[in-house]
Structure formats: C-alpha cells, structure tokens
Amino acid sequence: MTETYIALARKWRPKAFNELVGQDHVSQALINALRAGRVHHAFLFTGTRGVGKTSIARILAKCLNCETGVTDVPCGQCASCREIEAGRFVDLIEVDAASRTKVDDTREILDNVQFAPTRGRYKVYLIDEVHMLSTHSFNALLKTLEEPPPHVKFLLATTDPQKLPVTVLSRCLQFNLKRIPAAEIGATLRTVLTQEQIEFEPAAVALVAQAADGSMRDALSLLDQLIAFGGGSVMEAEARAMLGTVARDHVVQLADRLAARQSAELLRFARTLEQWGPDYAQLLDELAALLTRIALKQVLGEYDGDELYAPELLARLAAAFAPEDVQLYYQTAIIGRRDLPLAPDPRTGFEMTLLRMIAFRPGESDGGGQGNAVSAPLRGVSRAAESALAPADASAPQSEQTEQTEWSAVLDRLGLQGAARQLASHCVLVAREGARLKLALDPRSGSLRTAAVEEKLAQALSRHFGEPVRLEFVATGESEATPAQARERAAQEHLDAARRAFETDPGVQGLRERFGAQVIPETVRPVK
C-alpha cells in the first residue's frame, strides 16, 4: 500500500516553542508564564494568516496537558501530546468561528464548560477567527470569560482584532504575531529541503520566501507546489516560471541601461520583455528591490548582497550609478508601481515609468559656483511654475500676482484634498533651495499646521517634483497674499462688481423711482 503523502505545511508544523519561527516575543512570554505557574485563563493571538496563531495555541494546549506535568517543553510522546498533535484530544475543543456564528452554536459549545476535563488537566477551547462570532455569541462567550472555571483555558485566534468587542479584549492577554521576515522564512525552507533531501538552488528558495509575504504556511505550500512543478527539485528557473517573475538577468539589464542613461536602448529592451508575459507591477517591485541593494552597497561598502544578487554584481552597479540617481530611480519606481492601475495598460505604465527615470534628473551646477542648483526643466513642472520655485537669488523678483498664479497652478496639479489642501492654499511660496521648499504661512491659519498634514503636503510635493522635498514655514509679510486670500479678494471684487451692476441696472432704478423700492446689498449675489 502506498504511503500517504503529508503536505510540508502539516509535516513541518511547529510542535514546541523552540520550533517557532519569528515569534520569539510570544513564545518567551508563554514559557515564562508556564515556568512561573501563572497561566492566564484567556489568550488572544492576532496576526495575518500563516504566522503561527493556531500552532502556538496547540503547543500551549500540550504544555498544559502533558502527562509529565505542566511544562514549557512538552514531551511529545505521551498519549495527550500525541492526541493533541493528531487533533483528536477530547479536552481540546477546536472551533472555527467562521462556520459557527450563531448564538445556539456558541451556547452548545459553552454549555459543557462547567464540567471537568475528561482526560486532561485542563479543558482548552481554541476558537479560530473569533472575530466572526455574532454579537449574541460574543455575549455568551463574555459571560464565561468573566467567571471562568479553574480547569478551563480559552485560546482565541483572529486576523482582525479590531472587530472584537472591547469587553472581550479586556479579559484576554493579547499577543500580536509578526509577519515573518523573508530571511527567516528562507533559512527554515533550506532546513526543510535539506532534511527532505531535495536538491535546491538558494535563489529559488529566496524567491519562494519573498512570495510568501511573511507567512510560513504559505511558504511551505508554495515550496510543495514548486517541488511538484520542478519534478522533485527546487530550481530558480522553475521558481520564476511558477511565480510569474521575470528572470533576474532581465532586471539587471534594465539597471545597466538605466545606469548608462540609454533611453532608446532601455525602451527597446523593455519591450522585448513582453514575450515573457511579465507582471509589470512585480517587475517594478524587483527593480526597486535591486536599487535598494545598490544603495546599501554604496552606503555600506561591506554589504555582501544575498542569494539573488552577488557582491561583485552589486559592486559593479554601485560604481555605475550616482547615489542621487539611485534614490530618484527608486522613488520613481515605487510611485510608478502605485500608479500602474491608472495607466492605459500595464506595459504603457511600465514604459512611462522608465522614461520618467531618465527624464527627471537632479539639477547640475551651471559652473557659476552656485550651490543648490535648480533642477532641469523636465522635473515635472511647467516653466512658469519652475521659475517661481527657483532659489531667491537665482532669478529676478517677480510680481505678487505672478507668484500667486504659479503657486496656485502647482497646487492644482497636486490633487490635494481636505486639510492638506487648506494648509497649502494659506501659504505663499518664498523660495526653493535644493530639497528645501520655503513657505510663508498666514498666521491666522496656524491651526491647520499639524505634523500629519505637513507630511501629506510634503509627500504630494515630493511626488510632483520627483525627489524628496523638505518644508520650512515662516510667517507671511504684510505685502504677501496667499492663494486663499487671493481667492477671497477676487470673490469680493466679483461681488462688489455684481452689486454695482445691480444698483445701476435701469430696471432696478425704475422700481426705485416708481415704488420707492430699496436694495438690500447682502441679498445680491453674482451669477456663477
């Protein structure tokens, strides 16, 4: 008879606290509680999928019911430990709240809480996705949590703790499980493959670890799938084919052409990638990830890369790129990634992002010895707006009306709403010196200026100019008018003109003369 295959996610599920990956802060707290004999009656484990919530709960159930005594290291050999691992321990009641949301279901489960355990030391209730319970079910659970019998422990798990009533949260010890770093996932996968005696390439493991997005269970499931896809081995080419990622060499070639600033060649090569049917969003992610490694190599010379990019490759690219270009290309890549759904089609959005990288370049000195050179015209603003954003000593003074118009034009392009728009409209542009943007704020509108609103405005301006912008605020002078004040002034002038026109209208004058009518000025409004 053929032996039944056990999926890796089940076979390599942690059986003790020392086998948990990436959750040391939780396991250590539980170990200390078990050693001190101070185990709370209710625990809440939160976190995204596949990070170990139910695994920790089952390990804790074994620790409480191991036949060797309450311990932080269950023996794994006694009947209780084996039955808990197999999912058939009578005193471990596992409930999927997603399928048992009715109050009757909950009452049926909790009716037996008062009875002593059948075999174990404690009766353990493991309720998964507890946030799915109905309000009535929560009320039934709450009554038990308020006065729990000494032989009962509640282990609750959820991916959405915000949906739990505060009354339930306040009666539980809460542990938030973190997304597991890709490096730790990769190390665990390499251990699994070595133990399973499966041939693998480190780059393939790194790709799987990255695709798992912080979930160990997803990583093991993907690894199982890749083993089947690759015919019993784990290789980079098969991993990229299965995950739909573009070959690493293609990303490197894009970087080479960016470093050489070969616009035509960059675009030509980008179009050849279409034959691979790439996910352009993922391609921008991989390009941004490579740029991150290049920046690390430039800043930390001892950085040795990883399984995907060798040290000698990163050293070559770090020497080929100017550090400021790396920062700008990275910023452009992640902004292009975000805006990709708005493009006519993904390929067009990807190509435009690459062209934007070449077009937007930090300004260079004109040889006159001035620092903080103004950026090139292709920074993403109109020439009129650019002149308003130049340093104060780089251009002749402009008229107040021109400055208002140009700053208002920039604000219109930012697409800001709410408080950030209000803050910007109550400012006057003073000067731009490199990454520093100096704004004069109307003192009467100082309450609009908060850290969150400032950050939102700075981010919008950074996206607009294609480089990080730092804001500096000063008070407006008597002669300076903000866009908001300019709008108010224009609206008042419009209203005054409407009232004058109404007063001099022949029909209105006829009503006055004939009937003694009077005009109430505040009721006159211009037609928009």
Taking residue 4's Cβ as centre, other Cβ atoms within 10 Å add up to: 5
What is the three-state SS of 286-316? HHHHHHHHHHHHHHCCCCCCCCCCCHHHHHH
User: Cα–Cα distances in Å, from 306 out to 212, 226, 251, 295?
Assistant: 18, 21, 15, 14
Question: Which superfamily does CATH assign the domain made up of 384-389+407-480 to?
Answer: DNA polymerase III, tau subunit, domain V (3.30.300.150)
Q: In CATH, what number does 248-359 get?
A: 1.20.272.10
Q: What secondary structure letter does DSSP report for 200?
A: B
Distance CA 257, CA 354 (A): 10
d(CA 325, CA 342): 25
Encoding tokens for residue 336? 């292009």
Torsion of CA 105, 110, 115, 119, to 10 degrees: 70
Cβ–Cβ < 8 Å for 290, 329: no
Answer whether CATH 3.30.450.20 is correct for domain 8-176.
Answer: no
Q: DSSP of 500-525, one letter per residue? A: HHHHT-HHHHHHHHHH-----GGG--
- Identity (one letter) of the amino acid at 158? T
Sheet holding 427-433, edge to edge: 427-433, 436-441, 470-475
Rounded to whole angstroms, the Cα distance separating 85 from 94 reads: 12
Prediction pTM value: 0.55
CA neighbor of 249 nearest in space, from 272, 227, 233, 230: 272
Fold of the domain spanning 182-243 = Helicase, Ruva Protein; domain 3 (1.10.8)
Residue 241: CB partners within 8 Å, gap ≥ 6? 229
Q: Could you tell me the two tokens for 513? A: 């003369």
> pLDDT tens track of the chain, all 528 residues?
456 788 898 889 899 998 888 888 899 999 999 999 889 999 999 988 888 888 888 899 999 999 999 999 999 899 999 999 888 899 898 888 877 655 566 676 777 788 888 888 999 999 888 888 888 888 888 888 888 888 999 999 998 888 888 888 888 999 988 888 888 999 999 999 999 999 999 888 988 988 888 889 989 999 999 999 888 999 988 887 887 666 778 888 899 999 988 888 888 988 888 877 788 888 899 899 899 999 988 888 777 777 778 788 888 999 999 888 899 999 999 999 998 888 889 999 999 999 888 876 554 444 433 333 333 333 333 333 344 344 334 333 464 444 555 788 888 888 788 788 888 888 888 888 877 888 888 888 888 888 888 888 888 888 887 788 888 888 877 656 788 887 788 888 888 888 888 888 777 777 777 767 777 777 777 765
What span, in angstroms and rounded, lies between the C-alpha atoms of 245 and 413? 35
Each domain of the chain, given as residue ranges in start order, spans 8-176, 182-243, 248-359, 384-389+407-480, 487-523
